[in-house]
Amino acid sequence: MSNLLPLTWAFPLPPAVILFVGAVLSLIAPRMVRPFIMVLTPLLGALNLSLLPENYTTQAVLMGLEVTPTRIDSLSILFGYLFHLAAFIGVIYALHLRDRLQDMAALAYAASAVGAVFAGDLLTLFIFWELLALTSATLIFARRSTRSAQAGIRYLIIQICSGVLLLAGALIYAQTHKGLAFNHIGLDAPGGLLLFIAFGIKSAFPLMHNWLTDAYPESTPSGTVFLTAFTTKVAIYALARGFAGTESLIYIGAVMACFPIFYAVIENDLRRVLAYSLINQLGFMVVGIGIGTELAINGAVAHAFNDVLFKGLLMMSMGAVLHVTGEMRGSELGGLYKKMPKTTMLCIIGAASISAFPLFSGFVSKSIIVTAVLYENYDLVWLALLFASAGVFHHAGIKIPFFAFFYKPSKFVDTAHEPPANMLIAMAIAATLCIGIGCFPQYLYQHLPYAIEYSAYDVSHVLAQLQLLAFSALAFTWLKLAEIYPPELKSINLDTEWIYRKFLPDQIKQSLNRLSPVDLQTRNNLNQLFNKIIQLLSLHHGSHGLLARTWPTGSMVLWVAALLGLTLTLYYL
């Protein structure tokens, strides 16, 4: 039974409030106090969330429509704790910075994500949806480079378009259904397609994914950790809430899981490789949501939880490399394990987790989704997910640590060193959780939306996964020894973003070049026309023109009287 409480400031507070307050304080607090605010804010937010009663809601009436700014249930609660955990790890990772803008944006970004997953209506969701766009874009701009500024603008445009679609779909849905409640919607509902596309953009659906691979690698090292955790996971939650069981999601997710592999293999920027890998992992979650059974939804939510940890760990390890060397291209890195052994080991733990090695977190969640697919007899999708599992081990499990820390000795080996202690602590927390969840998955399973009786460590599951990983490792080894592995090119690889980053600008430039002679001739013709008009006017208004002469006062009075008489005549007629 819902516990309807008025919108007051009574403790405990609505979940996002403490994070927003922390964001404001981090902006105005003295430099020495700011680290304590950053660390304590997500801890207090999580404590506040734990004190809220089960099925807690807040409701109000706006323009005759009932809105629910806060709704806590079994689907949203795990995401709420996840986002507080991600914020805690992220702020520890960023403690060495002295950047008020990044501190404020990071906590406000986390607050927006928490507010979005606890939104009980589409209007509240829209507000936090747009706040997600603004705060996350700030983390991209915070790198303060030309490339990050350009990528941030492209990112912001696409994210705002997603918000506009969400608002349009919500208005159509509300007008038809006389309400804004955010529950299951489905594609057949009025406005449902617009909402589906809005969620799909933030979920990085195929052909809508380029904002992710374009912008995430251009953020600051710490900003990328936050970006990995929040935006796409909010979108996964929104799909699970509004479109669970939509069959088209099964095939969309299968494509998402497979196509990034090919781009990740040829990509040189290692953070961009991880961005493609993020899309690959999102594909598994989307497949689970499309299946829509309780087991599949549990798998999608569990994998979202684990993905924040192991993808965050990999992004943190690459951020540490970037912090130490200033370089992120695989062709320029290598040999760093000699000077960065702790970072190397932590990166390997993240690689093992994302590759779904037994005893690591990825295995205990990914296997749930694969099992749910088999139960529903989607055999081709199951094969696609097996291919995707082998591919992610190939490009994220092997390529990332191999090219960053091993391979050939790079010019950075002599000057390399371990990153600041706070970065190592944050990575160690994420690595510990990856191993802990992998070894004791029941602690995660008991917090999933539905009751689950599932054992990841079935003999068939373990053997099948180990065989898959072994063959993938052999394939990578053979390709390297045979010298046919795609080389690490010192270039930017564009996929469908080529349309708006290359094709359209080139077409516009060529069109302008073709129109240039016409434009010049038109300007000349207009100049000649204006000159003739000025010459004509000067005959009457120039210094010697008729209208420029001095007229006697009597003549002027006569003309005024004549005009007045004409006006009176016309009036009476």
- Structural domain contains residue 339: yes
**Does position 2 have pLDDT exceeding 60, yes or no?**
no
Please name which of 181, 214, 88 lies closest in space to residue 173, comparing C-alpha atoms: 181
Domains in the chain: how many in total? 1
- Structural domain contains residue 43: no
What average pLDDT is seen over the chain?
88
For residue 503, what pLDDT band results from cuts at 50, 70 and 90? confident
For residues 143 and 215, what is the distance between their CA atoms, to the nearest angstrom? 11
- Structural domain contains residue 401: yes
- Structural domain contains residue 419: yes
User: Where would I find the beta strands (DSSP E) of 433-503?
Assistant: none
HSE toward the beta carbon, residue 432, CA cutoff 13 A: 7
For residues 493 and 501, what is the distance between their CA atoms, to the nearest angstrom? 12
Predicted local confidence at residue 434, as pLDDT? 96
**Does position 400 have pLDDT exceeding 60, yes or no?**
yes
Parent domain of 469: 245-251+263-491
* Count of other CB atoms within 10 angstroms of residue 507: 10
For residues 309 and 275, what is the distance between their CA atoms, to the nearest angstrom? 15
**Per-residue pLDDT tens over the stretch 146-174:** 989 999 999 999 999 999 999 999 999 98
- Structural domain contains residue 168: no
- Structural domain contains residue 125: no
Tell me the two tokens of residue 507.
Answer: 């077409």
For residue 4, what pLDDT band results from cuts at 50, 70 and 90? very low
More confident call, 323 vs 495: 323
Please name which of 228, 287, 255 lies closest in space to residue 391, comparing C-alpha atoms: 255
**Per-residue pLDDT tens over the stretch 416-465:** 899 999 999 999 999 999 999 999 999 999 999 999 888 888 888 888 88
Annotate 226-254 with DSSP letters as a single string. HHHHSHHHHHHHHHHHH-TT-THHHHHHH
Predicted local confidence at residue 336, as pLDDT? 92
Residue with tokens 């829209």: 126
- Structural domain contains residue 334: yes
Please name which of 281, 232, 278, 228 lies closest in space to residue 253, comparing C-alpha atoms: 281
Residue with tokens 């807690």: 56
- Structural domain contains residue 300: yes
Predicted local confidence at residue 6, as pLDDT? 43
Q: Which residues contact 272 (CB under 8 A, 6 or more apart)?
A: 213, 216, 217, 493
